[in-house]
A and B are shown apart, each in its own frame.
Chain A
Amino acid sequence: NAGVTQTPKFQVLKTGQSMTLQCAQDMNHEYMSWYRQDPGMGLRLIHYSVGAGITDQGEVPNGYNVSRSTTEDFPLRLLSAAPSQTSVYFCASSTTEASYEQYFGPGTRLTVT
């Protein structure tokens, strides 16, 4: 049972490039979410999903796209990276009944130059 996995661990992008951050969980959790962590800003919710085929915006969705085609996977897409998207990105999952107890991945550190 791997829990929540994220790839890559580190990534450097140039402004304007696109990429996808991968997130997968093997706990059959319905609820999945993406956060970004910035110094002094804490964790901010980007997008979340309550099940396959259902996604919704969080606090800071601009510049990011998500989709949920399977229960296990919840990729985060940056279509045109900007320096303001330099951050550490965390994926998390939980059951819907206990969405307060989220299991976090190890994070992806992204730098946009």
Chain B
Amino acid sequence: AQRVTQPEKLLSVFKGAPVELKCNYSYSGSPELFWYVQYSRQRLQLLLRHISRESIKGFTADLNKGETSFHLKKPFAQEEDSAMYYCAPLYNQGGKLIFGQGTELSVKP
């Protein structure tokens, strides 16, 4: 069965500290992976996708097929990064998007 695991429910860091939100997936194929973010009182929205290999709001995520991981990283956290983050693998294009359990990131001043 396809599974995605975000082991940390809550991650609390101080402003300026590095942050890494972990995501591990279990798949038989080669899924596409994405990170979604939900800021307070805002809608859930796509943050970034592994294929684009881009940095969004200072965040990057590298797909490690050997470790089946897709961790989200930022070298210097900001208070406005505080939000709920979800890792989401895609079964196949046009198919179901499955979300992990979510990690709440809290960046303290």
Contact = CB atoms under 8 A, between A and B. Distances in A.
Contacts of B44: 43, 90, 92, 104
Interface of A: 31, 33, 35, 40-45, 48, 50, 58-59, 90, 92, 96-97, 99-107
Interface stretch (B13-21, B57-65, B73-81, B88-96): B88-96
Contacts of B34: 100
Nearest to B89: A100
A43 B44 CA distance: 11
Interface of B: 6, 9, 32, 34, 43-46, 49, 86, 88, 90, 93-102
Contacts of B6: 42
Given A42-B101, A103-B43, 17 more contacts: A33-B96, A35-B99, A40-B9, A40-B101, A41-B101, A42-B99, A43-B44, A44-B99, A50-B94, A92-B44, A96-B94, A100-B46, A100-B88, A100-B90, A102-B46, A102-B97, A104-B43
7 contacts: A31-B94, A43-B44, A43-B102, A99-B93, A100-B93, A104-B45, A105-B43
Contact of B98 (A40, A45, A50, A96): A45
Q: List 3 tightest A-B contacts by C-beta distance, closest first.
A: A42-B101, A43-B99, A104-B44
